[in-house]
Structure 1
Amino acid sequence: MSRILPALLAPVLFALFAATIAAPASAYWEYGHETVATIGYRNAKPETRIAIDRILHHAQLLETPTCPARTIEQASVWADCIKTLGPRFSYTSNWHYQNVDVCKPFDLKSACRDGNCVSAQIERDLKLLKDKTLPMRERVQALAFLVHFMGDLHQPLHAGDRGDLGGNKVTAAYGAYAPERLNLHAIWDGYLAERSISTPPSLVRRYSPEEKAAIQAGSVEDWSRESWQVAHDATYATALGGDACGPVPARARLDQATIEKLVPTARLEIERGGLRLARLLDEALG
């Protein structure tokens, strides 16, 4: 930017731009997962919260000192943090998503062969967390995975794709921001997520029984289908000029008007993830 703008003008424009664009370090990768976890925790039953705290008190059993899980917020990003530990947890890499083609009829079974997908792992972790006969280390790990994967399931590009690694291969621009490596997945993981979560009113609150009932209904497969539909209707359609299954341009563009229209959708996904997490936590621990 500084190569084409006058030297005195560039710093001013950069400061204004930085104030409106989220930094990756505090985006969905942490901010989104932590918000889903906090909503879930606050909307769980009191006895569930006590059980969560009791289990996470044993987080040292995970033996991952560089990836703590002592609080629900720390636990929400533990599954991503352990990716830095090399082969020790490499077998978990496929558990964070499910590649269900948005341009074909919804088919979760094909995408979840052998349980290697996010929805299958959510159901597995729920069973493990319910089983009080298991060693505490196993239940701590199941809790951390469950909290994280409920966030992943409600990021639409972890639930649907077009053979493009959930939008990772779709080069995209976010408003005026268009660095060479920015892609559609990063926008929904980070920039749009932070914009949506930080837009008032706060998503972190106690929801009414009526609000909970409307969102918490259904099964993990129902939620998978819903998130997959969001990937089709909102994520891909808006990025590809209205046709989610149309040709992919050299660079997809989300202008400011489109971003503003997508904020309510992204906020709803965070709410869904948090309140449904609360339901599953209550089922397992309440």
Structure 2
Amino acid sequence: MKKILTATAALVLAASPAFGWGKTGHRVTGAIAQQYLSDDARAAVEELLGVEDLAEASTWPDFMRSSSEEFWAAAGPYHYVTIPEGTQYDLSMAPEVGDAYTALQQFSAIVTNEDLPLDERQRALRFIVHIIGDLHQPLHVGDGTDRGGNDVTVVFFDTVTNLHLTWDDEMIDYDRLSYSELANWLSRRITPELADEWMVADPLVWISESAQIRPSLYPDDAELQYQYFFEHRDTMRTRMSQAGIRMAAYLNELFED
């Protein structure tokens, strides 16, 4: 049940943009991915970004949303896809400017085109890293009715927020871990068998997984406390871990040879 607490809170939170995993979550996915890059992919990333690693690159597209450049005014839909309940991903559901899936294809073509300017290829790589993280946050595969949970007002412990931001930030930061601490904790639990199982470079697989998880995230009660956190923390952490492994898989395939 999608409950609204008060009309005032709903109006305030309706303006909240969808950012995918928050800073901590995106950096965790980048830090995990960095460990699984092939030699070719690692060399390509270093050639394009220098000392900037994937954890640092992962949050750049959100930071740049405030830029006055024309590109960024149209880039909002690159952070999500829409799949109505009971359907599969369909390109016809994408906005005219595209969505996360189509943007991933475009940026992949740009980053591997050595004839293009360096700054364009750097932007493409940073966006690829960011989009892969976004597509593993289940509410970035929205059903088209509530802006990926942004319109669902909840209280996470004592914080009035919305369901989307709860998954972007509140749930991750509740444990008070830095991104490097959380990445280390999760990395220790990724066995070689799990890494092999998760090493899937197909974005349609990631999207389908998120769409399947999404309905289970909507609470019956808008007051989210220990029980909700207890029930969903493993899902949140698994999706971040998978995003890191898939990010490496995608870049390894993209930069092969």
TM-score, with structure 1 as normaliser = 0.73
Higher relative contact order (CA 8 A, sep 6+): 2
> How large is the Cα RMSD of the aligned pairs?
2.5
Residue matched to 1:177: 158
Residue matched to 1:263: 233
CA distance in 2, matches of 1:200, 1:36: 8
Among residues 185, 192, 201, which one is paired with 2:171 in the alignment? 192
Structure 2 gaps of 5+ residues are 1-19
Among residues 80, 84, 93, which one is paired with 2:76 in the alignment? 93
8 Å CA contact 1:170–1:183 kept in 2: the answer is: yes
| Structure 1 residues 102-113: aligned runs within 5 Å | 103-113=85-95
CA distance in 1, matches of 2:190, 2:90: 30
8 Å CA contact 1:43–1:207 kept in 2: the answer is: no
Structure 2 vs 1, CA of residues 122 and 128 (structure 1 numbering), >3 Å: closer, same or farther?
Answer: same
CA distance in 2, matches of 1:223, 1:40: 15
Give the drift of 1:100: 1.9
8 Å CA contact 2:77–2:95 kept in 1: the answer is: no
CA distance in 2, matches of 1:143, 1:204: 23
Give the drift of 1:280: 0.9
8 Å CA contact 2:89–2:204 kept in 1: the answer is: no
CA distance in 2, matches of 1:31, 1:70: 16
CA distance in 2, matches of 1:130, 1:108: 26
SS of the counterpart of 2:81? coil
Structure 1 gaps of 5+ residues are 1-26, 58-68, 242-250
CA distance in 1, matches of 2:47, 2:89: 38
Instruction: Point out 4+ residue stretches in structure 1 off by more than 3 angstroms.
Output: 195-201, 204-209
Residue matched to 1:31: 24
| Alignment length (residue pairs) | 232
| Structure 1 residues 204-219: aligned runs within 5 Å | 204=187, 207-217=190-200, 219=202
CA distance in 2, matches of 1:201, 1:77: 19
SS of the counterpart of 1:139? helix
Among residues 111, 120, 133, which one is paired with 1:151 in the alignment? 133
Structure 2 vs 1, CA of residues 189 and 281 (structure 1 numbering), >3 Å: closer, same or farther?
Answer: same
Structure 2 vs 1, CA of residues 84 and 135 (structure 1 numbering), >3 Å: closer, same or farther?
Answer: same
Deviates more, 1:72-81 or 1:108-117: 108-117
TM-score, with structure 2 as normaliser = 0.81
CA distance in 2, matches of 1:94, 1:225: 18
Amino acid at match of 1:192: M
Amino acid at match of 1:160: G
8 Å CA contact 2:30–2:129 kept in 1: the answer is: yes
CA distance in 2, matches of 1:200, 1:259: 19
Structure 2 vs 1, CA of residues 253 and 161 (structure 1 numbering), >3 Å: closer, same or farther?
Answer: farther
SS of the counterpart of 1:172? strand
Indicate the structure (1 or 2) with the bigger Cα radius of gyration: 1
Q: Deviations over 1:170-212 (max 9, x none)?
A: 01121x3243xx1101100001123479479712459544222
Is 2:113 the partner of 1:134?
no
Is 2:15 the partner of 1:45?
no
Among residues 228, 231, 234, which one is paired with 2:214 in the alignment? 231
Structure 2 vs 1, CA of residues 226 and 45 (structure 1 numbering), >3 Å: closer, same or farther?
Answer: same
Among residues 105, 108, 118, which one is paired with 1:123 in the alignment? 105
8 Å CA contact 1:168–1:184 kept in 2: the answer is: yes
Structure 2 vs 1, CA of residues 252 and 108 (structure 1 numbering), >3 Å: closer, same or farther?
Answer: farther
8 Å CA contact 1:32–1:197 kept in 2: the answer is: no
- Give the % identical residues: 27
CA distance in 1, matches of 2:120, 2:189: 30
Q: Deviations over 1:133-182 (max 9, x none)?
A: 333222211100000111111111111235111111101121x3243xx1
Is 2:75 the partner of 1:75?
no
Structure 2 vs 1, CA of residues 196 and 151 (structure 1 numbering), >3 Å: closer, same or farther?
Answer: farther
8 Å CA contact 1:197–1:203 kept in 2: the answer is: no
